[in-house]
Amino acid sequence: MLLGPSAWTVEMARSAFSGTDAPPIERISYGFPVDLFRPRDRRACREILDLPQDRFIVFFPASMISDRRKGADQVRSLVRSLRLPGLLFVAMGHGAAEDLDLSQDIFRAFGYIDNPNKIALIYAAADIIVAPSREETFGQIYIEAIASGTPAIGHGLTGTADALLDGVTGLTTIAPDAESLETAVTALYRDRTRRDAMAFWGRVHVENEWSLEACAQHFFAALRRLGLVDGLGLPHRIELRRGPSEPEAVEHLYQPTDSWRPISGMGVREGALPEHGLPRQYHWCLGPKAEIDLLVQRPGRYLVLLDCMNRMFDNQVVTLSMDGRPVAQVSLPHRSNGDGFLVDLIVELGQTRNRLEISFDKWREPDAAEQRPLAMVLQSVHILPYQPICDI
């Protein structure tokens, strides 16, 4: 039995055999760590990577500067000729980036990076990914990019046709040439709404088709089609079980945590309501603004993680400010099943007062049944010393 990651590789394998000599050949999906490659706060990623906040960042692998099979001629043409306001090209990996001889105002090269966490940050920091390969057995970069909430652009040739879903995970060009590539980049540059839609639905698509769980399902289905499930004595159902979780410690409803303290615009700590999609104790944040103090034992740079839940609105835009200075803005999708949305930011904290302001673009107007202007559920706040992943 042979397994291929794309329809193109499967057909290539079948064509290598003559008639009855061909073994069973099936297509399965790769499994990607979607907990690593995930949407993140773009501003925080750019701050960590020392990338400008006000630029439209186009990312591509550095190998595409020198390898014609990967569209080197088109990438070079794009970087040298496309001039849109605020455009910045960023490359990562082995390649002749220095041959482009461009200023840092137009082009940044990270070089080779072997840290997967930093690679995930770069994906999430970009606005779009460009990878105009002509020959690929698959197209890993497209999946990792859209899993990180960043749409991709490519030609959809050979193995990349399975990895890049036009209009959902990004755009396929109308022709495999430099002009069509530039047209696609310009289209997404000008259409923020379309990019945001692709970021949302592309992530959903990756979780359904390219997660580790989906990979296991595709592999099992291939075994079933080949009649190997009974032959190998396998059960007819696959189960994906999570390990047992430790019960959470019970907290006093009015007791502040060790790392943060509610100041204003916050309800008291309420008990868990699993039957209503609230599996843990929580606070209601009240509109238009809630304030908390972040508490640390020594000054320094910290990673702050807020486990939030938007239970009331189709979309809730949350702005985070430290002592009146905006440091992050995030859009919270509606969730009512108990899954929180993790908001992360990197901030400098002192040993004394560190006031974090949480502002909302919408909240529930009080009425006779509920007199509080409910805006968002805050389940927990974690503060961790920030250590740079590695030197750039």
- What number is the average pLDDT over the span 165-171? 94
The number of C-alpha atoms within 13 Å of 170 and in the hemisphere containing its C-beta is 36
Backbone angle region of 110, left / alpha / beta, with phi > 0 → left and psi within -120 to 50 → alpha: alpha
> Quick one: pLDDT at residue 54?
92
For residue 18, pLDDT over 90 is answered with no
Q: Which residues contact 246 (CB under 8 A, 6 or more apart)?
A: none
Q: Which residues contact 325 (CB under 8 A, 6 or more apart)?
A: none
> Quick one: pLDDT at residue 104?
78
**By the 8 A CB rule, do 124 and 40 touch?**
yes
Model pLDDT for residues 131-146, shown as the tens digit of each residue = 999 989 999 999 999 9
Percent of the chain with pLDDT over 90: 41
> Quick one: pLDDT at residue 338?
66
Banded pLDDT at 186 (limits 50, 70, 90): very high
- DSSP string for residues in 138-170: S-HHHHHHHHTT--EEE---TTHHHH--BTTTE
- Other CB atoms within a 10 A radius of the CB of residue 386 amount to 16
In whole angstroms, give the CA distance from residue 389 to residue 216. Answer: 31
CA 56 to chain centre: 17
In whole angstroms, give the CA distance from residue 59 to residue 127. Answer: 8
For residue 383, pLDDT over 90 is answered with no
Pull the structure tokens for residue 308. 């939030």
One-letter amino acid identity for 92? Answer: M
In whole angstroms, give the CA distance from residue 216 to residue 208. Answer: 12
**Helix or strand or coil: residue 309?**
strand
For residue 256, pLDDT over 50 is answered with no
Question: Over the chain, what is the mean pLDDT?
Answer: 85
In whole angstroms, give the CA distance from residue 246 to residue 151. Answer: 37
**By the 8 A CB rule, do 146 and 202 touch?**
yes
Model pLDDT for residues 202-251, shown as the tens digit of each residue = 999 999 999 988 988 888 888 888 888 887 887 777 666 555 444 444 33
Question: How would you list the strands of the sheet with 56-61, edge to edge?
Answer: 107-109, 87-92, 56-61, 128-130, 152-154, 170-172
In whole angstroms, give the CA distance from residue 321 to residue 360. Answer: 12
> Quick one: pLDDT at residue 375?
95
Q: What's the chain's Rg over C-alpha atoms?
A: 24
> Quick one: pLDDT at residue 280?
80
In whole angstroms, give the CA distance from residue 40 to residue 229. Answer: 40
Peptide bond before residue 288 is cis, with ω within 30 degrees of 0: yes
> Quick one: pLDDT at residue 390?
46
- What number is the average pLDDT over the span 96-120? 81
Q: Of 107 and 270, which is predicted with more confidence?
A: 107
Q: Taking the alpha carbons of 370, 372, 376, 380 in that order, is the dihedral positive or negative?
A: negative
> Quick one: pLDDT at residue 86?
94
The H or E element that residue 263 is part of is: strand 260-264
> Quick one: pLDDT at residue 172?
95
Banded pLDDT at 258 (limits 50, 70, 90): low
Kindly give the residue spans of alpha helices, DSSP state H, lying in 99-139: 116-125
- Other CB atoms within a 10 A radius of the CB of residue 166 amount to 13
In whole angstroms, give the CA distance from residue 144 to residue 195. Answer: 16
> Is the pTM above the cut of 0.75?
no
- What number is the average pLDDT over the span 293-321? 90
20-24, 149-153, 156-160: least confident range: 20-24
In whole angstroms, give the CA distance from residue 127 to residue 125. Answer: 7
- What number is the average pLDDT over the span 268-286? 82
Q: Which residues contact 49 (CB under 8 A, 6 or more apart)?
A: 118, 121, 122, 125, 392
Model pLDDT for residues 147-157, shown as the tens digit of each residue = 999 999 999 99
CATH of domain 260-385: 2.60.120.260
Model pLDDT for residues 312-349, shown as the tens digit of each residue = 898 999 999 998 889 999 999 888 776 778 888 889 99
Banded pLDDT at 105 (limits 50, 70, 90): confident
Model pLDDT for residues 326-336, shown as the tens digit of each residue = 999 999 988 87
Domain boundaries, the chain: 32-210, 260-385
One-letter amino acid identity for 239? Answer: E
CATH architecture assigned to 32-210: 3-Layer(aba) Sandwich (3.40)
